[in-house]
Amino acid sequence: MCLLARNSRFVSETLVIEEVDPQGPEAMSLLREAALEARSLYPELIVPGAPMPTNPPRQERAVYFVAFLAGTPVGCGALRPLNGSTDADDPTSVCYEKRLMPVNQP
């Protein structure tokens, strides 16, 4: 069984990973930057004028992380139940999806 503690923080010498609000400024800035990069790399896959992506609000049993390097947001990722179940007794609800978006910094 996978359990994640709320308000988690993992620290290395130069990289800090913090749980954040998926609709907060750091998360949305990284998502926008990743979307702009994807649009420039794969213009044939993006409908011109399509709206920018957004993150859903916090969900039960889901977490969203942002990686900071020297205080600058440089990457993000999310873990959430794959089947949407919030029942702790449901054995399929302990599988998690990982979504990581490294972002190049100038």
Predicted TM-score (pTM) of this structure: 0.65
Which structural domain range is residue 43 located in?
Answer: 9-102
- Nearby residues of 85 by Cβ (< 8 Å), 6 or more positions away: 92, 93
71 falls within a domain? yes
Determine the pLDDT at residue 104.
47
For 13-33, write each residue's pLDDT tens digit: 688 899 999 999 999 999 999
Nearest Cα neighbor of 32 from 52, 55, 8 is 52
The dihedral formed by the CA atoms of 48, 49, 50 and 52, expressed in degrees to the nearest 10: 120
Does residue 18 form part of some domain? yes
Domains in the chain: how many in total? 1
Tell me if 49 is assigned to some domain: yes
**Does residue 51 sit within a domain?**
yes
Position 98 in a domain: yes
- Asked if the structure places residue 67 within a domain, the reply is yes
Q: Does 80 reside within a domain?
A: yes
Q: What is the 3-state secondary structure (H, E, C) of 18-63?
A: EECCCCCHHHHHHHHHHHHHHHHHCHHHCCCCCCCCCCCCCCCCCE
**Is 1 a member of any domain?**
no
